[in-house]
Amino acid sequence: MHLVVGLGNPGEEYARTPHNAGFLVVDLLAERHGIRVTRPDSKALAGVGEVNRRPVILAKPQTYMNLSGAAVAALVAKHGIDLAGLIVIWDELNLPWGQVRILPKGSAGGHHGAESVIRHLGTEEFTRVRIGIHPGHPVNNGADYVLTPVRKALQAEWDEAVRRAADAVESMITEGVEKAMTTFNRRAPGKTEEA
């Protein structure tokens, strides 16, 4: 069983912000595979189903970003999820806009939601999918930036990044993390530098 958790903030005012990348990926996976992520479960909305005939739980913590770990740890404990089957998705200000990076473990890199997950699980040993949101110019206030809706001019690129992240999760579930890393840990289209 895989548990796929997208990090974000509940509420319509946050729905189209970069900080809700994880929620958007879970929503897309739910749409693709006919899973309803509507059942309250362990401080999250969750749905059970299959991705390419593999059992999954899709979840969106409702605790707000910086407290996400409480929901993730509760879901892991309640459903007996082996951490090898946990996939957590979040936005990453340290990665260029639109890049998707899969890592089998690692630090939070300053992301408060990821810090909460690591703190509550007591380990960095879980797979993560990070979606780059750095705009390519200096960001004066990171908190304001991640909570500002994506500009219409960038919406197509944003939708593509979310799609690629969902593709990456599907690949991880069906082909394994190493194969997915080989496929998806490349430069985003049009980028000339590695993160």
Give yes or no for residue 122 having a pLDDT over 60.
yes
What does DSSP say about strands 54-61 and 2-6: parallel, antiparallel, or unpaired?
A: parallel
Nearest Cα neighbor of 7 from 20, 46, 18 is 20
44: burial class by Cβ within 10 Å (0-12, 13-18, 19+)? buried
- What tokens does 16 get? 């189209």
The residue-averaged pLDDT of 111-134 equals 95
Q: Regarding the domain with residue range 2-184, which homologous superfamily does it belong to in the CATH classification?
A: Peptidyl-tRNA hydrolase (3.40.50.1470)
pLDDT of residue 193: 40
Cα–Cα distance measured from residue 27 to residue 158, given in angstroms and rounded to the nearest whole number: 14
Give yes or no for residue 188 having a pLDDT over 80.
no
pLDDT of residue 17: 94
The residue-averaged pLDDT of 128-156 equals 89
Name the pLDDT band for 169 (thresholds 50, 70, 90).
Answer: very high
* Of 19, 111, 112, 134, catalytic: 19
pLDDT of residue 189: 52
pLDDT of residue 53: 93
pLDDT of residue 191: 45
CA distances from 140 to 95, 135, 145, 146 (A): 16, 12, 8, 11
Q: Is position 111 annotated as part of the catalytic site?
A: no
